[in-house]
Chains A and B, each alone.
Chain A
């Protein structure tokens, strides 16, 4: 069964450093997402991406964050200058069509980001 993959599984970085989290969505999917989950808290939407541009972003997704689809398979989340409060599990997800259409989103296994 096709699945979303993410690398690395765990990333440790120092405050102020840049990190890039990588995802390979399911190949025939058109919509891509990033969510995050701070330990013990709920899963929070960060950004959705369709047709090579951001379709929606949350208040969390400020200027420190950016997303890119550099080629036909990868989807990346960059955090320019990490803060302690960015420590969380970051999930990539993809879907065949938009969430508003009722298409399920398939989640990757996550990257645990620890900022020290």
Chain B
């Protein structure tokens, strides 16, 4: 089976840095997506990792360690609009579906 683990909730202050962790146990792992989902809205793509290491994209970076089954999303210079759920979604060989974790609800306070 597939198992994805993320913290349920996190809080942070505007301007700060926050790291959202994701551990996964999947068979046929190919890579991992991070999506952002504001309440009542659709998930939107943030980042994508296939190889080990850090991928940087503006204020957002994502890290992957395939051997450890571990990824994190790093958000810098937090803004109020970053208050949302962050979804870790491994993707597998021989399947097109995304498998979403329950997500981490991030609240940013002034």
Contacts and interface: CB of A to CB of B under 8 A. Distances in A.
B21 interface: no
B96 A106 contact: no
Interface in A65-88: none
Nearest to A110: B42
Interface string A79-112: 0000000000101000100111010111111100
Q: Is the interface of B mostly helix, strand, loop or mixed?
A: loop
B2 to A, nearest CB: 11
Nearest to B93: A100
Given A91-B43, A104-B48, A107-B43, A98 B96 contact: yes
B20 interface: no
Contacts, number: 63
Contacts of A56: 95-97
Count class of interface residues, chain A: 20 to 34
B95 A100 contact: yes
B98 A99 contact: yes
B11 interface: no
Given A48-B96, A102-B31, A42 B42 contact: no
A91 B100 CA distance: 13
Contacts of B103: 42
B63 interface: no
Interface in B58-110: 87, 91-103
Contact of A33 (B40, B44, B87, B96): B96
A18 interface: no
Interface of B: 30-31, 33, 37, 40-45, 48, 50, 87, 91-103
